[in-house]
Amino acid sequence: MDAVNADIPVRINKKILKKFGVRVKQSMSGRIRVRVKSLERRAEQAGWMKERLRLMKGVRQVETRFATGSVIVVFEEKLISTREILTEIVVQILKPAVHTQPEKSPAHPAAADSCECRSKRSFSSKLFKVGWLSGVMLYSAVRYWVFKLPLVQTPLGLIGIAATVGTMSLVREAVSETLQKERVTVKPFLAFGSISTILMGEPFSALQIIWIYNVAELTEDYVALKSRKAIRDILEVAPANAYVMIDGVEVETAVSDILPDDIVAVHTGEKIPVDGRVVDGEALVDEASINGRSEAVFHGIGDEVWAGTIISQGVLLVKTVKTGEDTYLAHIMKMVENSLNNKAPVEQKADQLASRLLKIGLAATTVTFLLTLDPMRALTVMLVMSCPCATVLAASSAVTAAVANAAKRSILIKGGLYLEKIGEADVYCFDKTGTLTMEQPEIVSITGRVPSISEEAILTMAATAESHNQHPMARAILAEAKARGIVTEPHAVCDFRAGRGVFCTVGGDAVILVGNSRFMDEHEVDISWFAKKETSQLELGHTVVYVAKNGKAKGMLGVANPVRPEAVKVLHALKEDGVARIELVTGDNTEIAESLMAVFPFDDCRADLRPEQKAERVDELRENNAVVMVGDGVNDALALTRADIGVAMGAGGAEVAMEAADIALADSDLEGLMKVRNLSHQTLRVVDQNHYLAVSTDLIGAALGMMGILSPIMAGMIHILHTGGILINSSRLLNWQPSAEPESSKP
């Protein structure tokens, strides 16, 4: 054992390990994997443990995973034993330095989960507060209006104590928020009004203020929590387990425990769990989540692959280069988290109006008292002007109703700020694959070598060869054959060549080849006759697939991801609705991007962009405009967070994009983009109506109070009535039908 720790004697056994939260998860020749509970989400302590274990004689390599508390040690068995390593781990747990608070970095998923738990606890706390406040309100209402008994409004009565406790909680929040934002918001206004009301002997009025405000806050928190949960439910950023080659055998291992230089086996349909280099095998890899390209990319020995991409066809053995938080996917995730955390706070209309009302209310109350020397009149004015619950609800109730309306239409909005902004944005950026086009490719053209070869004959040959292939191109061919009622021929042998094509024997001696030009060249099939037609297909952004039989070319298929049927209409509608600029930002090549310029009303297109470059373009546009970014892949996530509003396509979209976005179209219907824009316009109209109603009734009530016509009790009744009117007006948004057509006028 390290001499440094000789003063801490430890006799290791199962009981000791259990006591200190140490579990051996895997032990084999020269390698041990241990789960240490005290290291979970403690980056500093995990680093300390790693450095101490590295100092031990015989230890070759140490890796720690603070997300799970895992410690992986590779060692020389002749120089050090497993028992000595476990003893050192327990010794380091006993060190005082280890016992500190867990890291709270929001860039890590574990920390994000912790933040979510805190949000839930906050919601539960607010729910409890509203519950007991509602109980006191119900008791008071029944006592006063049902049994006609007077309310005891002394400081030590039930109503007085409830109002005081509720007000003190609001005061703490008001002080904290004012110090953080360095401006007066609605909370100090409410706190001031509540305290003044209690001091003037009207704690029931203060209780009304506190109750209505807390109900409004609880409603907003509930909508935000449900929206966030609905999006998190579909998140699955990376696989939990993978298969590591150990002594020639595939061993299932937690991804968090994979080390650099480990060989990982990845099969068809599986996500690659690490960044690395292919050491054996060949496969088609769907990299749309990283670069947005619709076509799978062929990878063989020596090629670089990334975590989060999917094997469409084939098997790869990948030598691990980067794992966990070091992968390209994790790097993008961290940048996404940083961008999310750095969004600038925006002044809310309710707070701005409340600040103005605060000044007017204080002035009106002071003037009333100086002119009349009547504290009751001054109290009435204070009750009316210093109780802007209706002003608070004017925005929050309308936004809540609008968010609920959108959710019924499979549009998930993460906050009222984003609902407001999307209606004001004047620049829209679109990704291509999965956003403007469908995920699954389709056959768009069939060309025969000679007129005597029909489209059906070419399709029959292609479908026969591809009948057992799971590649997206093969699925497109089979879908077209099925739609035409074509029955495939019996075949004996099919040999798939990843990234090139398929070789199929039919009827014992006939050989069918289906694949790209490279595949045809390998089998010495002359395709020169199709050269011009191939060029025209490529200029349109289509992929070309050749069909040959017995060494002779028979036909050519054009394959493309079709444009979403509603996409062109939606982009034209955005233009008509006042959007000044629409751009295409894509990872696809220039030819494909430019082919879309003839279809869509784009003002510009940027092609061959990596995630960072997309984000940079969004930053450029944001210098003078409010920008909306619409995408669906990991490659879009950073741009989604950099934009003023990020909109993610839900069905089939990348999980990280859904998490990064401010608005998610869960059913991937682009018409939802116009619907939420029109819903934004309508919501702002309703908010303006509510503000007009709230301010006008406040001013009228204050005037009546100054003249002595309105009593404090009547002021409270008017307050409740006009608050109810605002809630009724906002509730109209619940059933409002947003249109996918542009509006003729703006709010």
Closest among 588, 549, 329, 355 to 450, alpha carbons compared: 549
Does pLDDT of 2 surpass 60?
Answer: no
Angle at alpha carbon of residue 518, lines to 517 and 521, rounded to 5°: 85
Q: Residue for token digits 């960044």?
A: 275
Which position among 257, 262, 286, 431 bears the catalytic label?
Answer: 431
User: pLDDT-based confidence at 617, cuts 50/70/90?
Assistant: very high
Per-residue 3-state assignment (H helix, E strand, C coil) for 646-705: EEEECCCCCHHHHHHCCEEECCCCCHHHHHHHHHHHHHHHHHHHHHHHHHHHHHHHHHHH
Q: Looking at domain 241-326, does it have CATH number 2.70.150.10? A: yes
The 10s digit of each residue's pLDDT in 299-318 is: 889 899 988 888 888 889 99
**Residue 204, pLDDT score:** 82
SS3 316: strand
Residue 438 has pLDDT above 60, yes or no: yes
pLDDT value at 104 more than 50 = no
For residue 267, count other CB atoms closer than 10 A to its CB: 14
The DSSP-derived string for 149-188 is PPP--STTSHHHHHHHHHHHHHHHHHHHHHHHHSS--HHH
* 5: pLDDT strictly greater than 60: no
456-484 pLDDT, tens digit each = 999 999 998 888 777 778 888 998 998 99
pLDDT band at 343 (very low <50, low <70, confident <90, very high): very low
pLDDT at 112: 42
Predicted local confidence at residue 619, as pLDDT: 93
With a cut of 60, say whether residue 234 has pLDDT above it. Answer: no
Cβ neighbours of residue 641 closer than 8 Å, sequence gap 6 or more: 335, 336, 339, 340, 343, 615, 660
Name the CATH code of domain 442-560 (choices 3.40.1110.10, 3.30.70.20, 3.30.70.260, 3.30.300.30).
3.40.1110.10
Q: In what order do the strands lie in the sheet with 645-649?
A: 411-413, 663-665, 645-649, 627-631, 427-430, 581-585, 604-606
CA distance 662 to 676: 12
The pLDDT value recorded for residue 181 is 58
Q: Which residue has the tokens 């006063």?
A: 144
Q: Tokens 């086996």 — which residue? A: 265
Classify 252 as helix, strand or coil. strand
Region of residue 412 (phi > 0: left; psi between -120 and 50: alpha; otherwise: beta): beta
Q: List 505's β-bridge partners, or say none.
A: 493, 511
The CATH number assigned to the domain with range 14-94 reads: 3.30.70.100
Q: Is the pLDDT of residue 255 over 80?
A: yes
Cβ distance 194 to 206 under 8 Å?
yes
Predicted pLDDT of residue 47 = 79
> What is the residue-averaged pLDDT of the chain?
78
Domains of the chain, residue spans: 14-94, 116-235, 241-326, 343-404+677-732, 411-433+565-675, 442-560
CB 36 within 8 A of CB 69: yes
pLDDT, average across residues 681-701: 84
What proportion of the chain, given as a percentage, has pLDDT over 90?
A: 17
* Whole-number Å distance between alpha carbons of 556 and 530: 8
User: 435 or 747: whose pLDDT is higher?
Assistant: 435
Cβ–Cβ contacts within 10 Å for residue 357, how many? Answer: 24
User: What is the pairing mode between strands 663-665 and 645-649?
Assistant: parallel
DSSP 13: -
Average pLDDT rounded to a whole number, residues 411-426: 83
Least confident segment among 118-122, 254-258, 378-382, 739-743? 118-122
Mean pLDDT of 522-543: 87
Give the 3-state secondary structure of residue 437: strand
Structure tokens at 410: 């499979």
Distance CA 656, CA 635 (A): 9
Q: Which pLDDT value is given to residue 747?
A: 44
Give the range among 152-161, 182-191, 263-272, 733-742 with minimum mean pLDDT: 182-191
- What is d(CA 742, CA 640) in angstroms, rounded to the nearest whole number? 24
Whether residue 248 is predicted with pLDDT greater than 90 in this model: the reply is no
Query: Which is the CATH superfamily of the domain at 411-433+565-675?
Result: HAD superfamily/HAD-like (3.40.50.1000)
pLDDT value for 215: 74
How does pLDDT run across 632-659, given as a tens digit for each residue? 766 787 888 889 999 988 644 455 566 6
Query: Distance between CA atoms of 675 and 690, rounded to whole angstroms?
Result: 22
Taking the whole predicted model, whether its pTM rises above 0.85 is answered as: no
Q: Average pLDDT in the 142-161 region?
A: 82
Amino acid at 493: V
pLDDT of residue 185: 58
431 catalytic per annotation: yes
> What residues contact 135, with CB distance under 8 A and at least 6 apart?
none
pLDDT tens for each residue of 544-571: 999 999 999 999 999 888 888 889 999 9
Q: How many other CB atoms sit within 10 Å of the CB of residue 467?
A: 17
Tokens, residue 690: 């509510």
Half-sphere exposure of 558 (CA within 13 A, CB side): 17
What is the average pLDDT across 279-296? Answer: 76
**Tokens (6 digits) for 305:** 């692959």
Least confident of 433-442, 572-581, 607-616: 433-442
